[in-house]
Structure formats: structure tokens, C-alpha cells
Structure 1
Amino acid sequence: MLNKSGLKWGHKLKLQAAKALTGCVFLLLAPAVIADTPAVYRYQQANGVTAFSDRAPKNRPYIKVRFDCFACDLKSTVNWHNTPLFLKKYQHEIATAALHHQLDPALLRAIIHAESAFNPKALSKSGAAGLMQLMPDTATEVGVKDIWHQQQNIQGGASYLAFLLKRYKGDIKLAMAAYNAGPGAVDKHQGIPPYAETQTYVERVQLLWSRYQQASQAS
């Protein structure tokens, strides 16, 4: 399904669905609601290909997978107010992607920090990979040929973030929430979903963003 910008995000959103699995996987034959966490649904298409969606498929068995990410862990002991920032890593790649997609470099840096803690080899059990935790389908949609190529991964994540910002008319909180839980969840709840992990993610990304902005201005 094409969105207004012409990209096929539809129900196959990579979602940073790509967050390191929190652990529990539930095999379901009918929809079930977990109110405090975002989820991605893994199922087999008619052609046998495994697919991921932010919405439960109809009339098809699926597995509901709960996702986590570096900044989503509700039990995290990290002090987000003073945890060390990554100010030097990927300066050229982030600056180039931010300029190309008209994004604040500090925001990109904050999301990379939240998603992977700047680990270019980060890989979730769902297949989300790299610095910005891209799902393979999404990577393909945004023209990423090598998901492990750090510059391509950052460009792809920036492209997806720019798409979300356009979709939500520049509302950064909604774009952050959609990056974490998927646009389907944001649209369904007409705002930040009532998932503890997503709400925590948005708060922490905002804090990191502010800190990266301050650090940039001070340098």
C-alpha cells in the first residue's frame, strides 16, 4: 500500500520493530492486546515468505513479538541525564544524512543512541540491523543495498524519520513514537500509544536530543 509520499510503508513497516527482543514471544491465532508495549506481528505470506507487520494479519496464524531497544528498557539503570554522549562517531555520515533530509543532526544522533547505542553491529532477533535498527524491507524501500554499511544505514534511517515527520506534520514526538511503535499504533491511538516502552522511548530520545543540541552549541 502506498502512502501519500508514494512509498510502500503500509503494514510491513520495519518498525524499529527492530528493537532487541525483550524476550517473550507469544504464538497467537487471534488478536490479543498488550496495553503497555509496542508489538510486531510475524507471519507467513501465502507464498511462504516470512513478513513482519505492525498490525495483526487477518485469517492467518501469527506470532506477536514484543520488542525492546536500548532506550526502551523500563528497568534500565542508565542515568539518561548524564550518560556519556557519542559526539565524535559518524560525524560525516550523520551530517550528510541530516543535510540531505533536512533534519537536525542532534536528533539523528539521539535516535541512533536510543536505538543501538552507536553499535553498528546491533541485530535484533527480528532482523532489525545496524545503527538505526532498520528492518530489511524498510531498508529496501529507502534504497539501502547493504544494511550493514554504516553510511547507508544512517541514510536509510534518516529517510524513514523524514517520512514520519512529514506524515505527522513536523510533530517530533509523534515521529519518535512511530519510529518506535510504528505509524499504525500512532494512528490508531491518535497520538503517542499507551505503551510504557514507547512513552519511555520518546521521553529518553527527547532528553538525548536536548543534550546533543547543547553539546553541539557548546563545541
Structure 2
Amino acid sequence: MDNGYSLPKPELKKPAKKHVKASYSEHGILSDLGVEKRKVYQYEENGIMVFSDSQPTQGDYRIHLYECFACRPDSTIDWYHIPLFTKEYSAVISNAAKRYQLEPALIRAVIHAESAFRTNVVSKAGAMGLMQLMPGTAKDMQVTNAFHAEQNINGGSRYLAKLLGQFNGDIDLACAAYNAGPTNVDQYQGIPPFPETQAYVQRVKILYSRYRKAS
């Protein structure tokens, strides 16, 4: 029924905006196992999402890295003497190595170079977990949770094996492709002239040699 009066339209409630707090300092480059690397902690506190360069004292958090562990050309770390991770995820790495016909030492070297064996790291580009899988790569490798250690190692190992097949078993080119993408390796017909990628490949090779000797 229309009585000539227009009814007021009901007000639509807007969804509550999530509060975000960011806290950084000039000391956002932190020392960890002898290497300086930029990292930011993400966690929730009293319903507020916090991004800070200070590690929370309790609760779950994610670590956002600004570079992969071994990618900084100006890193002061001694890669020939940095402590190795020889026992972590032994069964998972061994199974992945057998499944994808890789050396366990190479898988360990890549994990060490990518994340220093941290499961909860995220790069500025969005790469996740131990082997720093990009979302698209994780999906292609059938990884549903990139922060789950076993899924991540299996997915990263499968991708590494794929790259080794693509580049005829050349570890240097496969590692360069793992870091910079296979398209760049094809484009430059070798290791791309990116300082980060060149440093990464060199350091993976050092770690690979050391893990082989330690096994």
C-alpha cells in the first residue's frame, strides 16, 4: 500500500575495518645465526594485526623476510663455516629425495639457503615456508599448506627435480631457476646477471658441498 510517504531506507552496516598496527625501527636488520637479514613479525594482539621488527614474546606469528636467507650479495656470513642443519626433518627429506631422485644434501642446501630451516617465513614476494614456495608454484606442486613442513619439502623437492630435468641436470642452472625463475635462465642462456641470484647459486653450492661431506 502506498500512502504517499516514502519509507526511509534501512542503513546497511559496514563491515568492521580490521585494525593494523605497524612498528619498525632503524634496527629492522636483525642478526640471526651470523647473517643480517631484514625481517618483520606479523601477529595478532588484542584483535589488532601487528607488524613489527620485534619478536612477540608469546603466541603465533609469521616472519616476513625481505630477502631469502642466502640472497643478499653483501651478506657478511661465512658460508664455509655457518652451522649446518644435519638432523632436521631427516625422514621427510630422505623420502622426498627418493621420490624425486634428488640428493638429500641438495634439498638441505636449498632449504638452508631459502629459509635457514624456518617453517613460518614469508618473503616480500609472497614465497612461503621452508623452501619458499610461491603461491602458484605451491598450487602446481599440489601443496595445500605451504607452512606444513612435509608438504613444503615435498613440493619444493618436486619443483627442484622438475627444474633439474628442464636444465639437463645442471645444478647451477636449476638453482638459478629456483631463485629467479626458469624464464630468466632461458632468456640469459645461463645464470641471470642478478647479484642476488648469483650470490644465491654460489652459496647453495657451498652448502651442498658441506652437506654432502656431513652426510
TM (norm. structure 2) is 0.68
Say which SS state the counterpart of residue 133 (structure 1) adopts.
Answer: coil
Q: Which residue of the partner structure matches residue 188 of structure 1?
A: 187
Distance 1:127 1:200 in 2: 20
Distance 2:68 2:132 in 1: 9
Distance 2:199 2:147 in 1: 27
- CA drift of 1:145 comes to 1.4
One-letter identity of the residue aligned with 2:67:
D
Structure 2 counterparts to residues 116-131 of structure 1, below 5 A:
116-131=115-130
Q: Which residue of the partner structure matches residue 155 of structure 2?
A: 156
Q: Which residue of the partner structure matches residue 91 of structure 2?
A: 92
Give every structure 1 segment of 4 or more consecutive aligned residues whose post-TM-superposition deviation is greater than 2 Å: none
- CA drift of 1:117 comes to 0.3
Q: CA RMSD in A?
A: 1.3
- CA drift of 1:114 comes to 0.1
Distance 1:105 1:159 in 2: 13
One-letter identity of the residue aligned with 1:114:
A
The runs of 5 or more residues in structure 2 that have no matched partner are 1-65
- CA drift of 1:68 comes to 2.8
% identical equivalent positions: 57
Distance 2:125 2:71 in 1: 16
Distance 1:143 1:89 in 2: 23
TM (norm. structure 1) is 0.67
Say which SS state the counterpart of residue 123 (structure 1) adopts.
Answer: strand
Q: Which residue of the partner structure matches residue 72 of structure 2?
A: 73
Larger Rg, first or second structure (1 or 2): 2
Distance 1:186 1:127 in 2: 21
The runs of 5 or more residues in structure 1 that have no matched partner are 1-66
Contact 2:70 2:199 in 1 (8 A): yes
Say which SS state the counterpart of residue 124 (structure 2) adopts.
Answer: coil
- CA drift of 1:124 comes to 1.4
The number of residue pairs the alignment matches comes to 151
